[in-house]
Structure 1
Amino acid sequence: MNLLQKTILVVFFATLVSGCSSFQHRKQMSSFNAAYSSGDYQAALESVSFKSSADEPVDTEGHLLELLHQGELYRLTGQYEEAAKAFDLAEEGMKFLDTEGVVEEAAEGFVAVMVNDSEADYEALMSEAVLVNTYKGLAFLASGNNEYARIEFNRANDRTRRAVEYFQKEIASQQAALEEESEDEESNAAIVSSSLESEGLQAAVAENYGAPSGWSVFSEFIVPSSTYLHGIYFLANATTGGDYERAATSLKRVAEMNAESDVLKEDARLAQALASGSQRLTDLGPQVWVVYENGLGPVLEESRFDVPLLFFHENQQAPAYFGIALPKYANRSAVPGNMGIMVDDAEVMETELIADMGTVIRTEMKERFPSVLARAVTSAVIKAVLQNEASERFGMVGQLGAAALTAVTTQADLRGWQAMPDHWQAARIDRPESGKLTLLDHQGGVLGTVEVPERPFTLVYVKRPTELAPATVITMDLRGEAQAQIARFPELQVQEPAQVSSIQ
């Protein structure tokens, strides 16, 4: 059996596996979303559970997506220790946190190019990694473990700081590899490189997909909700001037990203005043932050279209059109309006927007897009060459077979963490004398009443995926000196933990 026959056979079997895994993933996410959107978190947990042997370590790379979903579901059901364990395992499975073996990397690269990206283990977004540390910090805070909460909020902030450097290294590494392999002008790498630089390909991408330069993005990579929570955490836990400076830096950065928010401006002003000494903590009075995590975050859809690839024919470049498939983010639904906060039957205050997840992801995708496009074009080039060779050696049968394999394997990787929200909102108020807050929905209806213990700083964290789902309300001591209270509104009862063993 010659090399071409072996390659076609490998691709054929990989295609069978690809079809099965893609179907299983779609089925799993369909079950998850149906349960999650209605607030049935136990059923949602069951949909992302998996079996593993007690004698063997968990395959964290292979089960990364399940672990991400499990972690957040455990947190929303008050199982903070289980949430931290799931998020710990998820961090282990994030490839850019580890040094991947050369053989493993090469093998995954081959499968991704010959089939599609979805056949490689899922590689988390940097924004997902930042949220993992933030959610883990909240889980530790809710369990009264302030020492570990501090570590996680710092990790989230440090990961944000290092994100731009990571993106630059990823692009530079890929570019260097292409340049090295392009020395042979008729090599596949040379075809990829010249195609990527061609005006025809760029025009086709802009017309069918949208030019990244026109996307609505932040001026720099940031997950504002994570940076905001880092800021108010250190404001509440400051023991030195350096802690106040950390709080001031984070809150100022978020405020600059959303200049229309009075809440963000006031928080940044307070942190700066405490850092400079113009405001004394003893004169501040107990403060309550309400953070509202709302809706369903963006999901990936596939965009398929033809692009011109520049092949060599008789020492000249000649364009030929072949199909590529790119992932494209689409918004999902959010609960309309803002959340109202009523104190002792007085005037109602409303939460204000911090940031939306779509802008966060588009900011990251803009940085990653050159790599995504390069992989798609590389895959198209290799499949086109394979198709041509199959036609020359096996005639019409070979051409039709290779074309069928190409059509089936040209797919975008549509996997992602679907428990992220559409956006975050926030408000800050003085703790009411009665110690009670009444939360109102976007129509002014009462969701429920929150009891705020007498302490200097309190975080009321609310998450509601859809209007059909109750709001999960976790009331935390921002200094982590007591365990949180958890409730679901409008059910007005404490959520019983869903006993689903998924990560043993």
Structure 2
Amino acid sequence: MGKALKETRYVILAVIAAAFMSGCSSFQHRDQLASFNSAYVTGDYDSALKAVSFSVPAKKPVDSREHLLELLHQGEMYLLTGRYNESVKAYDLAEEGMKYLDSEGLLARASQGFVAVMVNDSERDYEALMSEAVLVNTYKGLAFLASGNSEYARVEFNRANDRTRRAVDYFRKQISVQQAALENEAQSGNRNAAMVRSSLGSRSFQSAVDSHYGALSSWSVFPEFIVPLSTYLHGIYFLANATGGADFERAASSLGRVAQMSPGSAVLQADADLATNLASGAQSLAGLPPQVWIVYENGLGPVLKEARLDVPLLLIHGNQRAPAYFGIALPEYAERSAVPGSIGVVSATGQVIRTERISDMGKVVRTEMKERFSGVLARAVTSAISKAVLQNEAADQFGPLGQILAALLTVATTQADLRSWQALPDHWQAARIDRPENGSLTLLDHRGEVLGNLDIPQQPFTLVYVKRPTLQAPATVITMDLQGGAVATFARLPE
């Protein structure tokens, strides 16, 4: 048997095995996320936690890379059930599983394996978004604050801010490394790499992609990468915990940056002005009454759905380059639902102040996807061309039956990776008021009806963190001392 025949048979058998594994793992992921969501949307967070639990062999460490997606969900479910230490532990493991975002060589990750290219991205370990990594540090900061540990909360809010600062450089390096690797492979005589490079650069291919997604330049995104909630909480934390001018400057910088991203927001501009005035000395802390911030995570964040496109790829037959249409599967974000309206809070004078929308999660992920899209597209095209070449080789070696088998495998394994962190919100809202003199704060729902009453301790700065994924679920309310001087109070409203 000739060497080429043996290699082709090996490849086909490998793809058959990979396709089988892909189908099994895809169904498992879908079932797991479906079970999680059916419990999560009703506020049954213990059942949601059970859906994303996994067993670990005795005396063996958790494989945080393999179980990253489960750990992200676990961390949030622990936070929403008041188990702050467990939340931190889950998020610590999740952050360990995201180390590739900080230190792992991009070239090493780009060569994760044959299966990821020949089958689909869902066979790779879950690739967290940089925005998810930023939110992990933010949620850890909240968990530490809730447990009364201001020192560790400070570390986490700084880490979130640092990740945000370094993200643009990371995306730039990621694209540069990918392009350099593709160029080197093409120049070294790799025919597949040459076909990928030519296809990605062709106007007809780009036109086919743009006809579905629209040109990247037209996407509704932030002008630079930012997770507004994280930057906002970084700002109000340092405002509340400032030990000198440098901390006030940090607060003013973060709150000013968020306000610039949403120029129509009165609450963001008021917070930025307060931090600027404290930093400049125009406002003194002694003259500032106790402040209460309300941060409201509302609704169900965007999830991925699959878009199948027929695109022209440039294939090489002998010395001829010929266009042929092949199907590729790409992910795109779909919006879910939000709880209507806003939360109301009643001030000491009886005035109702309502939270104001400060950021959409959809805009955050579109901003990041715009940076990552070229890599997603390149992997999809690489997979399609590899399978097209396999079909040709199968036809040459095994005739019509081989071609049919290879074509069936191509259809079965052309799938987009639709995994995502399902517990993120549709959007965030915020408000700030002076602490009522009697320490009692009334929360109102979107209809103006009472959700519940909160006791606000006599302390300079308080954060009331509210999360409600759907109207079916009660609102989780965690009332924290922003200076970390006491353990938070926890409530689910209406009770």
TM bracket, shorter-chain basis = over 0.9
Q: CA deviation at 1:388?
A: 0.6
Q: Does 1:461 align with 2:476?
A: no
Instruction: Describe the superposition over 1:16-73 as per-residue Cα deviations: whole angstroms up to 9, x where unpaired.
Output: 1100110011001011001000000000000000000230010101100000000000
Kept in 1: contact 2:441–2:456 (CA 8 A): yes
Partner SS for 2:112: helix
Change (3 A) 1:241 1:270: same
Q: Does 1:399 align with 2:403?
A: yes
Task: Report 1:241-256 matches (<5 A).
Answer: 241-256=245-260
Which residue does 1:495 correspond to in 2? none
Q: Does 1:209 align with 2:213?
A: yes
Q: Does 1:178 align with 2:177?
A: no
Which residue does 1:33 correspond to in 2? 37
Q: Does 1:441 align with 2:463?
A: no
Between the aligned partners of 2:253 and 2:21, the Cα distance in structure 1 is 49
Q: Does 1:349 align with 2:336?
A: no
Letter in 2 for 1:426: A
Which residue does 2:195 correspond to in 1? 191
Which residue does 1:231 correspond to in 2? 235
Among 374, 381, 384, the alignment partner of 1:380 is: 384
Between the aligned partners of 1:141 and 1:358, the Cα distance in structure 2 is 27
Partner SS for 2:113: helix
| TM-score, length basis structure 2 | 0.97
Between the aligned partners of 2:183 and 2:39, the Cα distance in structure 1 is 48
Q: CA deviation at 1:106?
A: 6.6
Between the aligned partners of 1:351 and 1:217, the Cα distance in structure 2 is 23
Instruction: Describe the superposition over 1:372-409 as per-residue Cα deviations: whole angstroms up to 9, x where unpaired.
Output: 00000000011000011001111111000000000011
Among 334, 343, 349, the alignment partner of 2:338 is: 334
Change (3 A) 1:382 1:95: farther
Which residue does 1:501 correspond to in 2? none
Task: Report 1:82-481 matches (<5 A).
Answer: 82-97=86-101, 99-100=103-104, 105=109, 108-183=112-187, 187-344=191-348, 346-481=350-485
Partner SS for 1:2: helix
Between the aligned partners of 1:40 and 1:107, the Cα distance in structure 2 is 40
Among 53, 57, 60, the alignment partner of 2:61 is: 57
Change (3 A) 1:313 1:184: farther
Kept in 2: contact 1:356–1:422 (CA 8 A): yes
Letter in 2 for 1:416: S
Kept in 1: contact 2:106–2:177 (CA 8 A): no
| TM-score, length basis structure 1 | 0.95
Instruction: Describe the superposition over 1:126-182 as per-residue Cα deviations: whole angstroms up to 9, x where unpaired.
Output: 000000000000000000011100000000000000000000010000000011011
% of aligned pairs identical?
69
Letter in 1 for 2:173: K
Give the unaligned 5+ runs of structure 2. none
Change (3 A) 1:349 1:171: same
Q: CA deviation at 1:338?
A: 1.1
Instruction: Describe the superposition over 1:66-97 as per-residue Cα deviations: whole angstroms up to 9, x where unpaired.
Output: 00000000011110000000000001111424
Partner SS for 2:485: coil
Between the aligned partners of 2:227 and 2:53, the Cα distance in structure 1 is 28
CA RMSD of aligned residues (A): 1.4
Between the aligned partners of 1:226 and 1:208, the Cα distance in structure 2 is 32
Kept in 2: contact 1:133–1:156 (CA 8 A): yes
Between the aligned partners of 1:119 and 1:299, the Cα distance in structure 2 is 19
Letter in 2 for 1:486: F
Q: CA deviation at 1:207?
A: 1.1
Partner SS for 2:293: strand
Kept in 2: contact 1:296–1:334 (CA 8 A): yes
Letter in 2 for 1:226: S
Between the aligned partners of 2:279 and 2:39, the Cα distance in structure 1 is 45
Among 74, 80, 90, the alignment partner of 1:76 is: 80
Q: CA deviation at 1:345?
A: 7.0
Partner SS for 1:52: coil
Q: CA deviation at 1:305?
A: 1.2
Letter in 2 for 1:404: L
Kept in 2: contact 1:95–1:123 (CA 8 A): no
Among 21, 24, 46, the alignment partner of 1:20 is: 24
Partner SS for 1:461: strand
Q: CA deviation at 1:109?
A: 3.2
Instruction: Describe the superposition over 1:307-350 as per-residue Cα deviations: whole angstroms up to 9, x where unpaired.
Output: 10111235332101111000000000000111111135712110
Between the aligned partners of 1:118 and 1:234, the Cα distance in structure 2 is 40
Give the unaligned 5+ runs of structure 1. 492-504
Which residue does 1:499 correspond to in 2? none
Kept in 2: contact 1:178–1:189 (CA 8 A): yes
Q: CA deviation at 1:111?
A: 1.4
Kept in 2: contact 1:31–1:47 (CA 8 A): yes
Q: CA deviation at 1:285?
A: 1.1
